[in-house]
Amino acid sequence: MSSTRWLWLAVAALLVLVFAGLGVWQVKRLAWKEALIQRVEARVDMAPVPMPGQAEWDSLSPASHEYLRVQATGLLLPLQGLSSLAVTDLGSGYWAMVPLQLESGFMVWINTGFVPERDAPLALPQGPVQVVGLLRLSEPEGGFLRTNEPDLNRWYSRDVQVFSAAKGMKAQQVAPYFVDAFELRPVRTALHTQEKPQAMGQQDPVPGLTVLRFHNNHLVYALTWFAMAALTLIVAARTWFAARYSDKTPTGLLHSLTSSSNRQ
């Protein structure tokens, strides 16, 4: 068999391995996506539970806590807030991330909702507020193919550790998760009996835009990659056997003898 055919078979073998590997990767992604969908469906309609305290922080994991419906009461600190890039059903804009000082002493970053403009003043409840929302784990890997730029105050993912460091907060006093709020309820007290009217120029964050429906086409992708691997394998096998058969035909044998006599 000629060197060209050997090269083709080597390339085909490499392609089979690559296509099969991509198929296996999509199967793993399918398992991950199905587990995520099951977690979300099981948790979003549950009764809210208290936000995990410091004793639970080391045991947080996606399997046990992500998208858990939680609640807490505290004071929002909008002057310590920042804006993280967002793409939502309302268009492109920002998540208004604001720390919540809990009665128990630690702080939690709250995604108070979507706003169209970055770092504009926010129209948020004054005084104690009860936050109800979904627990989300920190996003340290960046987003939108970019990493956070704290020095420029540009944020592309909700990395609460970096948020806290940029605002001079002590890491051990800030929860390693954030909460996507869908309810911010003012708590009436003797000192706070009514809400202040919204000031001119303030943005009213739109909560409740957490993505809860996920596209799941990984099975189709996996079958496509496996089919491409099988097709490549079939073509390579046909080429192999065709080459071997052509060498055994009278024409192939005559070509081999002629080549041998010429070399002599």
What share of the chain in percent tops pLDDT 90?
54
Q: Which residues pair with 108 in a beta bridge?
A: 100
**Greater pLDDT, 195 or 45:** 45
The pLDDT value given to residue 184? 92
The pLDDT value given to residue 199? 56
Single-letter amino acid, residue 160:
V
Domain boundaries, the chain: 3-35+217-263, 46-186
Instruction: Judge whether residue 190 has pLDDT over 90.
Output: no
Question: Which of 155-169, 209-223, 239-253 tops mean pLDDT?
Answer: 155-169
Q: Range with the lowest mean pLDDT among 8-22, 44-58, 181-195?
A: 181-195
**Residue range 101-118, pLDDT digits in tens:** 998 889 999 999 999 999
**Residue range 8-29, pLDDT digits in tens:** 888 888 999 999 999 999 999 9
pTM: 0.74
pLDDT confidence bin for 261, thresholds 50/70/90: very low
